[in-house]
């Protein structure tokens, strides 16, 4: 049974709003009108990727019988705001904390990979939608950012750094780590590959 506490709902909502806000600020180029225009765009393109990533961790952990709850990290939100002020986003607003004993390497790996796989799935969905919604500038923007940001989130979280998902996945199954990281890397590189091909034709 999946339950959400009032604190967890509050933490997810605050994190989602801050993440959407800092990405909108960076993409807006410090222009207030662009910032306000981009807020709903980043809420969908970025906010959904963040929320679904964390919920994937929670759902898989619960499937294995653990109690899992999202907790906001205040300093992570502050860091996101500060980094946005200088022109880039380093977002670590919080994480799903898993409570339980005797979690196996396989369980930990599968819980960890659930987040990046969710971002890959979202990126694919946004990419497909982009092919059919190119007639609308706003929908194209949402889908384009959705593909780009979710691809990046998947790749970034698969890096084999201790605090990221990738380290736990690599420890569990190196083959799965290589395949998943490779797919995410190709998706991140795709826009640059297409641009290069257009220039060389």
Q: Which of 8, 54, 69, 107 is an active site residue?
A: 54
Q: Could you confirm whether 106 is annotated as catalytic?
A: no
Q: Which two tokens stand for residue 119?
A: 């971002």
* Domain ranges within the chain, ordered by starting residue: 6-200
* Contact criterion met (CB below 8 Å) for 128 and 157: no
Helices (H) and strands (E) in the chain — how many of each? Answer: 8, 2
From first to last of the 201 residues of the chain, give the pLDDT tens digit.
678 889 999 999 999 999 888 888 888 876 777 888 888 999 998 888 999 999 999 999 999 999 999 999 888 888 888 888 777 777 778 889 998 778 899 999 999 999 999 999 999 999 999 999 888 899 999 999 999 999 999 999 999 988 899 999 999 999 999 999 999 999 999 888 777 666 676
Nearest to 151 by CA among 178, 187, 117: 187
The pTM assigned to this predicted structure is 0.90
Q: Distance (Å, rounded) from C-alpha 131 to C-alpha 95?
A: 33
| Whole-number Å distance between alpha carbons of 127 and 145 | 10
Contact 169, 180 (CB under 8 A): yes
């Amino acid at each position: 049974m999946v339950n959400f506490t009032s604190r967890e709902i509050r933490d997810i909502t605050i994190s989602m709003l801050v993440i959407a806000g800092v990405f909108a600020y960076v993409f807006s180029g410090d222009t207030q009108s662009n910032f306000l225009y981009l807020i709903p765009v980043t809420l969908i393109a970025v906010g959904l990727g963040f929320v679904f990533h964390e919920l994937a961790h929670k759902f898989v952990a619960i499937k294995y019988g653990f109690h899992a709850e999202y907790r906001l990290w205040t300093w992570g939100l502050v860091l996101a705001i500060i980094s946005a002020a200088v022109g880039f986003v380093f977002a670590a607003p919080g994480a799903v904390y898993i409570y339980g004993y005797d979690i196996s390497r396989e369980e930990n790996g599968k819980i960890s990979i659930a987040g990046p796989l969710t971002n890959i799935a979202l990126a694919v969905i946004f990419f497909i939608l982009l092919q059919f919604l190119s007639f609308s500038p706003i929908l194209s923007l949402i889908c384009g950012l959705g593909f780009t940001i979710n691809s990046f989130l998947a790749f970034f979280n698969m890096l084999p750094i201790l605090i990221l998902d990738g380290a736990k996945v690599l420890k569990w199954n190196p083959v799965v780590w290589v395949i998943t990281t490779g797919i995410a890397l190709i998706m991140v590189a795709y826009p640059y590959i297409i641009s290069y091909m257009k220039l060389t034709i």
